[in-house]
Amino acid sequence: MKFILLVLFLLGCSLSFGDELVFGTDARDSLGKMVRIPVTMKEDGSGRRNLLSPDFVGENFWPGYRGAGGPSLYDTADVSPLGRRVLFTNTFSLYSLEWNGGPVFAISRFTREKYQPRWSPDGKKIAFASDLNENCEIYVMNGDGTELKKITWNKSQNLSPTWSPDGKKIAFISDRNKKFELFATDLKSFQTKQLLALDRDIREPDWGKNGKILFSTQLENGTYALMSLNTETGKTETIFTSPAWCGHPAWNSDCTKIAYSSVQGSSADIMIYDLTARKHRNLTDSPVENEYFPRWVPVQLSEQAPALQKDMDALASAGLDEEERRGNAPLRPYPLKIPNVPLPRPRMLFTAEDLPGICARLASEPYSTAWKRFLARCDKAMHDPNTMQSIQSIPQDVLRERYAITVFAELYYRAPWLEAMQNCAFAYQVTRKQEYGDYAARVLLQAAKVSHDAYGVMHCDERTACTFDWVYDRIPQEERQALCRLLNRSLESKKQTCLNNVVGIYGRNPGSGNYAIYFAASLGPMALALSGEPSISDDALDIASHLAELTLNTWISPKGDAEEGFSYFNHPCEKILPFLISLQKNRLAPWLEVSNLKNTLTWIAESAANNNTETPAIGDCDYLTLRFPVGLLELYPDTPWGEKLWNNVPRSEKELNTITGLLWWRPSTNEKQDFSQLPRTVLFPKMEFAVLRAAPQEDFLLTVSAPSGAGHAHLEYGAVTLNAFGKRFLADPGQAVSMPDCHSQILVNGAGRVRNTVPVPMLKGISSDKLTDTVDVDFTDAFRMGFFGAPGTSGIPCGRAGIESGKRQVIQVRGAGDIPTYYIIHDSVLTGQPAVSGQLFVTDQGMRLTQEENGALRIEEAVGEEYGYSPSGKAQASWRIQVPADGLYYLHIYAKTVANVWLSVDGQKEKPFRFAQPPSRPNTWQWRPILQNKELLCLTLTRGEHTIAVKTSSQFCTLALSTEKLLLGEMPETDKGILLKFEKAEKTGDWKTLRPSKDALLVIPMETPEKTEMDILRFTTRFHGQLPVAMPRFSFNKSGKETSFISLLFPLKDGSQPPKIQGRIISFPQAEDTVQITEGKVSVTRKIQAP
């Protein structure tokens, strides 16, 4: 028993060093030169000894040997709780030495300076400050020099890291707000939070086991103070003040004493303050030497510290020997052998573990057929001299001249060699046929040579990165080293873009736009492909990963909506997904599991219309058949709405033409999915639009958009869209047009918002009661002064009719039983002078407007006759027509869907033609001219009888022969040509005949307007080939200083009857709704009629 007690006593002694300190002291080397070295001393003043020889010379083993360098000031020492290993720095390198002497190790192997190293509470990691990216930031790495990671990302000075007692956070000081303040970064989420700001700088924090952070500062009266911050309560406490400088405070292990530096007389000494006795004691009391940065030796943990290995290869390559490095008091350091455990290859898009599954996938349909075509393309490319010849065009790359930012020059770069190279590299990985790998490697090396000679850098986006990774073993080692240097040099401008661009990490608006996604997507893949290669730093990978994380949590809100909408989300998302999936496959991005990107599928589901098959057009968005990058399902296979969205619409096998398609695409069941659990109301904070959704059986969806920023096309300020019965009754022009008179919203004197940024959000929220859901919009600021020109730049001031107040309420009155859901829009406008205000409504192309006797406007599809299509596209419809006069006739088709048209005139051989329908407006009717080689098809016909025959899978109702080049905006029964109606055609084959529904939307003014105006909005799409579109619109107008509108929007199913309206009473057979306006607020009450 006595023996056990003795062992426990001795073990306790060996693990307890809480009464010793280390600090830096002035000393002189053997030549009399002043240096600073770390020393140790017990708290009672005994046991002082040097931990380092004054003659020690630091050496820099940065990539390659850089020789002796850096100040001979070896201080800011810290002691590990594992084996009392001592850390110190001379700013050029971090060094480590054993407590009882022995070799000194240079443990940092990267350029730039390092400051203030601190061991983690478990002794396994080191935090320190470094200016690796030209400003001081906080880094963390393992004690053996591996896994270097930056934890702060701010272009300011970030210094003095200190670990929280549980090792989960690091506090530090930063002058990002013009003076040094206290911040902390969570090491799991890497979110940084400000802890404390004072009037003066905060210095040298130390986080104690009591949860309080100790620090020094100078007060307004010029005295100095040591203070503490309680991290739980946020309260500060002044521990003591001093007229003399004092700093570098450090808690002891039980937080009962504080060691600090202070100027006493003519030199700085180490002082100890006893918090219990409230007394100061001068520990060193030296009249000559300056002594700084005291740290207590921590209580030791029982775990053994891992041994450090000497990098003898680095010594040998530098021509150095072990002279002066041996013994207990070495004069020079050994370079630390930093374990190099590179990621296994392949690592881009997939790993070796994935390859058996990929091979099995490509052996089954529908993939096997696409895979055979893919290999055939590879075989053709390898034998096509144009592939290699296209490399010679690299010096004439016009994109490098057009785009100042390399990212965009590469984003739009298309050349045969690049696609062939990546495809053959992928074929090599799957088939292991060396001819594919050797060819891809040959193309890569040849392109590298030509690029080096022309630019000194090389195209290095995801395509090159994948090739380098996939054919790594087919590149000779000597050539591989040169290639690595070229590729690494090629990343430098991208790194600077990712850091310093306006949306870069250090930019004015970090991570705030899709450009930042492109930047990360361009830098990240090659950085990952090069990771672990000799002399290649991982800082590029760290930068790309952090920018991706930052942007996906800035550009995208926690609700999942991306700031610039669906159209601007899909393309950058497609570009970043290969990098993200590669990070995930290699377990390098745990943040992906909590990224806002994961919620984007929920955003799509909650805002999609027409049985969740179509995204709405809002701001920069177009109406698009529900699409999203299939890589999202690969990245997040377990999201609640992903599979339903994918299977809700047909998916084209054309995506199997690409490598990512072969890896990630899957067939759709093309079956209607259950979306009944979607919320009735949603407000998306980034895009700033609200969704009101009716019951699933009705499938009505109304949106209200009021973004604060002008953006590309964000001139909405309460604009409404309404989908019902699968039709867009109130529509948005999408990316095509950004003017305020293109949206269903209020105009004053025919004008609206200009390109301005509204300081306060206009969308005030959604409120609900038992009967209604209400969206409130205050659009007053939308009419304030703006500027003609790009947002945020000076330009020509554009005044608008000054309004003193402008408010909109959009109310969804929920259906029940046989009472359908309907909507009310209430607008009130107050102007400083008499004005004409108009409540504008815009419907989609192919819709017909009819004003009824009670002043209501009926919106319905213009097609009133039967129409049809041939599923095979091979059935024929023909007409015999009488042409009134010789001449040139243009052929037009009134169609709803897009397909080729095979045309025969008077029995001549059929020829294929096409017509242009904007993909931004799918499934809408409009007259479209038939095109031949991008030119309008013009037929030369003589007077008399002719036969016209067509074959098409497009849904159409009428053809027209007209002398007019365009019939844009005309109804299908136009009198501007010879009409060939589907129902009158002689049809053979598999024609399907469809009959139009009479579904409609009634827009009923509940207050009579002074005037109702109708016209057609005509424009050309901004994208998609600049195609013409015509959208009918109408407005209810009133004049005066104070105007208000209240309109009822009633979706009317084919064959149903509208309610009766008297004043503000809406009568249904089973109920009566009363609309009231009290203090500008609309409310609806419902009275159920007795049976």
Question: β-pairing, 926-932 with 911-915?
Answer: antiparallel
Whether residue 310 is predicted with pLDDT greater than 90 in this model: the reply is yes
Locus of tokens 């005994």: 46
Q: For residue 329, name the pLDDT band (cuts at 50, 70, 90).
A: very high
What are the residue boundaries of the structural domains of the chain, listed by start? 18-335, 342-490, 681-859+1006-1047, 867-994
Rounded distance between C-alpha atoms, residue 29 and residue 36, angstroms: 9
Give the count of alpha carbons within 13 A of 232, CB side only.
Answer: 5
* pLDDT given for residue 917 in this prediction: 72
- C-alpha distances in Å from residue 140, one per residue of 169, 184, 231, 421, 709: 11, 14, 22, 38, 38
Write the DSSP string, 518-558: HHHHHHHHHHHHHTTSTT--THHHHHHHHHHHHHHTTTB-T
- pLDDT, one tens digit per residue, over 242-278 is 999 999 999 999 999 999 999 988 899 999 999 999 9
Q: What is the mean pLDDT of residues 364-370?
A: 96
69-73, 201-205, 592-596: range with lowest mean pLDDT = 69-73
Number of CB atoms found within 10 A of residue 266's CB: 8
Q: Per residue in 694-729, pLDDT tens?
A: 999 999 999 999 998 866 656 899 999 999 999 999
Kindly report the three-state secondary structure assignment for every residue of 386-413: HHHHHHHHHHHCHHHHHCCCHHHHHHCC
d(CA 227, CA 241): 9
Radius of gyration of the chain from its Cα atoms, rounded to whole angstroms: 37
Sheet holding 104-106, edge to edge: 75-79, 86-89, 94-97, 104-106, 334-335
The most confident of the ranges 192-206, 490-504, 787-801 is 192-206
Residue 59 tokens, joined = 């050496």
pLDDT class of 820 with cuts at 50, 70, 90: very high
Q: Judge contact between 471 and 428, C-beta under 8 A.
A: yes
Give me the amino acid identity at 153. W
pLDDT of residue 793: 40
Percentage with pLDDT > 70 across the chain? 94
Annotate 736-760 with three-state secondary structure.
HCCCHHHCCCEEECCECCCCCCCCC
The mean predicted confidence, pLDDT, of the chain is 90
CB-CB contact of 103 with 326 (8 Å): yes
- pLDDT over 50 at 746, yes or no: yes
Element (H, E) at 416: helix 416-431
E strand intervals along 570-698:
614-615, 624-625, 681-684, 689-693
The 10 Å CB-count burial string (b at 16+, else e) for 149-177 is bbbbbbbbebbbbbbbeeeebbbbbbbbe
Say how far apart CA 409 and CA 490 lie, in whole Å: 13
Amino acid at 108: S
Q: Which of 518-527, 726-735, 875-884 has the lowest mean pLDDT?
A: 726-735
Amino acid at site 194? Q
Quote the CA–CA distance of 945 and 942 in Å, as a whole number.
Answer: 8
Q: What is the pLDDT of residue 564?
A: 79
pLDDT at 1024: 58
> Facing residues of 290 across strands?
none
Residue that wins the pLDDT comparison between 31 and 1089: 31
Are the CB atoms for 1015 and 750 separated by under 8 Å?
A: no
Residue 825 has pLDDT above 60, yes or no: yes
**What is the average per-residue pLDDT within 505-522?**
91
Place of tokens 């500027």: 787
The residue type found at 851 is Q
Whether 480 has a pLDDT exceeding 90, the answer reads: yes
Instruction: Name the superfamily (CATH) of residues 18-335.
Output: TolB, C-terminal domain (2.120.10.30)
Specify the length of the chain in residues. 1091
Residue with the larger pLDDT of the pair 160 and 155: 160
Write down the pLDDT at residue 429: 98
pLDDT given at position 284: 94
Q: Which residue has the tokens 């986080």?
A: 207
pLDDT digits (tens, 9 = 90+) for 760-809: 899 999 999 999 999 999 999 888 765 444 444 444 444 455 689 999 99
Identity of the residue numbered 121 = P
Contact 591, 584 (CB under 8 A): no
More confident residue, 438 or 131: 438
Question: Is the pLDDT at 732 greater than 80, yes or no?
Answer: yes
- pTM, whole model, 2 decimals? 0.86
Burial of 254 (0-12, 13-18, 19+ CB in 10 A): exposed
Task: Give SS3 for 180.
Answer: coil
Q: In this structure, are residues 1027 and 1021 in contact, taking their beta carbons and an 8 Å threshold?
A: yes
pLDDT at 874 over 60: yes
pLDDT digits (tens, 9 = 90+) for 371-386: 999 999 999 999 999 9
Q: How confident is the model at residue 15 (pLDDT cuts 50, 70, 90)?
A: very low
Tokens coding 586: 């290699």
Q: Which pLDDT value is given to residue 624?
A: 74
Measured CA distances, 29 to 38, 103, 468, 532 (Å): 14, 19, 51, 40
22: helix, coil or strand? strand
CATH number of 867-994: 2.60.120
The pLDDT of residue 1037 is above 70: yes
Fold classification of 681-859+1006-1047 is Beta-galactosidase; Chain A, domain 5 (2.70.98)
Tens of pLDDT, residues 135-150: 899 999 999 988 888 8
948 to each of 96, 684, 867, 940, how far by Cα in Å? 90, 52, 17, 13
Does an H or E element contain 767, and which? strand 763-768
pLDDT in tens, 620-678: 777 777 788 889 999 999 888 999 999 999 898 888 999 999 999 999 999 999 999 99
- Contact 77/22 with Cβ under 8 angstroms? yes
Task: Assess contact for 788 and 759: CB atoms under 8 A.
Answer: no
